[in-house]
A and B are shown apart, each in its own frame.
Chain A
Amino acid sequence: MSAPVSATVVPLTADKGVNGVALTVLIVLFLIVTVLGFLASRFKRGEHLESLDEWGLGGRRFGTWITWFLLGGDLYTAYTFIAVPAAMFATGAVAGFFAVPYTIVLYPIIFVFMARLWSVSHRHGYVTSADFVQGRYGDRGLSLAIAVTGFLATMPYIALQLIGIQAVLEVAGLGGSGNWFAKDAPLLIAFVLLAAYTYTSGLRAPAVIAFVKDGLIYLVIIVAIIYLPHHFGGWDHIFGAAHDKMAATNPVTKAPNGAFIPGDPQKWAYATLGLGSALALFMYPHSITASLSSGSRNTIRRNAAILPAYSFVLGLLALLGWVAIAAGTKPIGLDGKPNPQLVIPQLFEDSFPSWFTGVAFAAVAIGALVPAAIMSIAAANTFTRNVYKEWIKRDATPAQEAQVSKLMSLVVKAFALAFVFTMDKQNAINFQLLGGIWILQTFPAIVFSLYTRWFHKWALLAGWAVGMVYGTVKAYQVINPATHKHFGGSLASMPVIGDLGYIALTAFVLNVLVAVVLTVVLRAVKVSNGSDQTSSYDYFADENDPTVAQDLSLHGGPRAGAVEY
C-alpha cells in the first residue's frame, strides 16, 4: 500500500499566467508539422494531384504502416484524448471506459466488411460510401441520403477538434481574456495553416503529420502512465480515490457522481455504447477515406490486427482521468468555472516540467490537425462526388472534381471555425452526439449492400429515415440532470428491454426492422430495385489481381502502379 502523499505534492491552484516554455515547445512543434504538411505533396506522389484519387485518397497506394499511422491518427482524435479522460474524471467508467471495448470490438467488425468495400471501390473508382450505394442501386435518392448524413455527422466532429486545441491553449494560458482577436487568433492561425496545406497536399498532408502525431501521443502517454501513478500514491490509492468520488452524492442531482464499475442497471448501457459506437465509426466519411487510401485489401485486414495498439493507449489515457482525481487536479477554465475537459492538460501542467508539458500540449494540438484534415477532405469528397457531380454538373472531369473538393475543404473548415467562434461549445458536443446516432443509420444501406441486394433501395431509405427521426427525437428528450437542458446524453430507455441503452443502437434496430418489412412488401409487389453496376467478383478483387490491372489500364486509371510500400 502506498502512503497517501498525493494531493499535496502539486500546487492546487496553478498559476493562470502564460506558460512560456510549454507554449514555445508547442509553437515549435506546430511549425515543424506545418512545414511537413506543405512538403507532403511530394510524398509517394502520383502523376499529378488533379484527381480525387490523388488529392483525396493519396493515390490509393498507402501500405500497411502508413495506413496504421493514418487510421490511428484519424480515429483517435484530439477530442477523444480530451473527452474520454474528462468523462472518467467527471462521471466514471460507464461514460468513459466504454471507449475501450468500443475500440476493441471495432476491429473484428471492420475486418469483416471493409475488405469488400475496398475491393469494390478499387474496381469502380468509388471515393465515398455513397458512391458505392449509387453504383449498387443506381439510385440518386438513397445515395444522397447517405452523403448528406455523412456530411452532417462530420461537421461537428471537425468543430470538436478545434475545441480540443482550445483546451490546451486555454491551460497554456492563451485565448481566455482580452478582446476577440487575442482570444481567437491562435486558433484561427492554426486552422488557416491547416487549410492551406490540406489544400495543396490533400490526404498526403495528414498521412505525413500522422507520424509525428502518433509518435508524440505514444511518447507522452507512456511517460505519463509510468511516472504519474507512482508519483500520486500507486494504483491502489488512485482507484480508491476514484471509488470515493464516484460513490459520493452529487449535491445537484442527489445521485452518486458516477460509476466506478458498471452496476447491474448500467451493463446494457456499457455494452450498447461500445457496440453502437463500433458499428458507427467506420460509417463516418473520414474513416472510409483513410481506409480506401490503402494500397490493398490485405492492408486493411492486417491493420485490423495492429490498430488495437491505439486502443490500449486510449485505455491508459482514460485511466489518467482517474489519476487526476487522486492528484486533486482542479480543471478551472480561464473564465473561472470548472471544466472537466481541461483535466488532462491541467494534470500535465501540474505534474511535469514545462518543456514536457509543451510536448504533451503539442501532441493534443497536432492530434487535432490530422483528423480535422482528413474529415474536411472526406466531407469535401462527399460533397463533390455525391452532390456536385450527381446533381449539379454531371459531366465534371476528374480535374474539376479535384478542384471543387479542394475548395470545399476550405469551406468546411471555415464553417467549423465559425461554429466554434459563434456558438457555445455545448452545441458542437450536442451535434456530435447526434452525428453518432445519425451516422449509424447509414450502416444497413452500406454494409448490408456489400453482401446482398435482397434489401430494396426504398426500404433502406425508409429505414434510414425512421432511424434518423427516432434517434433525433430520443436524444432531444434526454434531460441533463444537472443543467436540465435537452440533449443531456446518449442513453435512453430501450423498448422491450427497459434498461438504459445507446439511442443510436435502438434506432439502428428499428431501422433494420423497417427495412426488412418494407423489402418483403416491395419485393412481393415486384417494384424495380434499380440496376447494379457491380458484379460479385468485384468484392474480392485485389491490387495485384490481373483483371484489375487489365481493367485499370484499359481505363487509363492512375492506380496501375499501386504497390505495397
Chain B
Amino acid sequence: MSSPTPEGRRPADLHVTMPPTNKGLLAAAGVCLLIPLVALMWVGSYAKETPRLSGIPFFFWYQFLWVFLTSGLTYAAHRLVLAARGQSADPYAGHADGRPDVPPDVPPSVPPGDGNPLDPTPGFRS
C-alpha cells in the first residue's frame, strides 16, 4: 500500500475527532521546554569560576540551579499542554469534545468486577 498518511482514519462507529488544540498555549509550552536546552548548551555563558556561592564556583552552582528551574519549566509545560488540549490535571474533567464531566462509560461487554483482587475489571479495585 503506497498511500502515505492515513490522517484521521478511524473506525466509523467510534466518531472520534482529534482534540481541538490551542496553538498559542502549545507554543508557550514549547518555549518553556526550549529554555533549559538553550541555557545549558550555551556553555560559554556559565563556564567561569565567579561569582562563587559559599565556596562553590559559579560553573557548578549555576547548573545545580538549572535542575530546579528545568523541573519548574517542565511542570509548567505540562499544565500548558493540558490546557491547550482542553484537559485539566483531573483525567475525567472536561473532555475535549464536550462530553459531560463523568468517567467514561465502561463498555457493556465488560461486567463490573466482583471484588476479587486478581480481577483487573474496573470498579472494585483500589
- Residues in chain A within 8 A of chain B (CB atoms): 45-47, 59, 93, 97, 100-101, 104-105, 107-109, 111-112, 234-236, 238-239, 261-263, 267-268, 270-271, 274-275, 296, 298, 301-302, 304-306, 308-309, 311-312, 315, 319, 452-454, 526, 528-532, 535-537, 540, 542-547, 549-550, 553-554, 558-564
Contact = CB atoms under 8 A, between A and B. Distances in A.
Nearest to A261: B59
A563 B4 CA distance: 35
B8 A301 contact: no
Contacts of A562: 120
Chain B, interface SS category: loop
Given A104-B70, A107-B70, A235-B54, A545 B64 contact: no
B23 interface: no
B120 A104 contact: no
B67 A312 contact: yes
A529 B4 contact: yes
Contact of A540 (B19, B44, B105, B121): B19
B40 A101 contact: yes
A27 B18 CA distance: 55
Given A108-B33, A542-B91, A545-B104, A270 B2 contact: no
Nearest to B95: A546
Contacts, number: 181
A311 B67 contact: yes
A302 B63 contact: no
Given A235-B55, A553-B110, A104 B91 contact: no
Interface string B72-101: 111101100110010001011000000100
Interface in B16-48: 16, 18-19, 32-34, 36-37, 40-44, 47-48
A560 B6 CA distance: 27
Contact of A107 (B16, B18, B74, B105): B74
Contacts of A564: 91
A453 B5 contact: yes
A234 to B, nearest CB: 6
Given A104-B67, A311-B67, A561 B113 contact: yes
B105 A546 contact: yes
Contacts of B104: 544-546, 549
- What 3 A-B pairs have minimum CB-CB distances, sorted nearest first? A235-B55, A561-B120, A546-B104
Contacts of A261: 47-49, 57, 59
Nearest to B30: A112
Contacts of B55: 234-236, 238-239
Contact of A553 (B43, B72, B109, B113): B109
Given A108-B37, A315-B60, A550-B107, 12 more contacts: A47-B120, A261-B57, A262-B59, A301-B78, A305-B78, A308-B71, A528-B2, A535-B10, A543-B91, A544-B104, A547-B14, A561-B120
Contact of A111 (B4, B78, B113, B121): B78
22 contacts: A97-B63, A105-B70, A107-B70, A108-B32, A108-B33, A111-B74, A111-B77, A267-B44, A308-B68, A309-B67, A315-B64, A315-B67, A531-B1, A536-B8, A537-B16, A540-B85, A546-B104, A547-B14, A547-B16, A554-B109, A561-B113, A563-B125
A270 B43 contact: yes
Contacts of A553: 107, 109-110
Given A47-B118, A267-B47, A561 B125 contact: yes
A112 B47 contact: no
Contacts of A93: 59
A525 to B, nearest CB: 12
A104 B40 contact: yes
A560 B122 contact: yes
B78 A304 contact: yes
Interface of B: 1-2, 4-10, 14, 16, 18-19, 32-34, 36-37, 40-44, 47-49, 54-57, 59-60, 63-64, 66-68, 70-75, 77-78, 81-82, 85, 89, 91-92, 99, 103-107, 109-110, 113, 117-122, 125
Chain A, interface SS category: helix
Contact of B8 (A47, A100, A235, A537): A537
Contacts of A104: 36, 40, 63, 66-67, 70
B69 to A, nearest CB: 9
B30 to A, nearest CB: 8
Nearest to A527: B2
Contact of A305 (B6, B9, B75): B75
B110 A536 contact: no
Contacts of A526: 2
B45 to A, nearest CB: 10
Contacts of B119: 47, 561
B93 to A, nearest CB: 11
Contacts of A537: 8, 10, 16, 18
A100 B36 CA distance: 12
Contacts of B78: 111, 298, 301-302, 304-305
B10 A544 contact: no
Given A558-B120, A560-B120, A540 B91 contact: no
Contact of A304 (B37, B48, B74, B122): B74
Given A545-B104, A549-B104, A453 B4 contact: yes
Q: Among B48, B77, B105, find the residue whose CB has the most chain A CB atoms closer than 10 A.
A: B77
B35 to A, nearest CB: 8
Contacts of A308: 67-68, 70-71, 74
A108 B10 contact: no
Nearest to B89: A298
A31 to B, nearest CB: 28
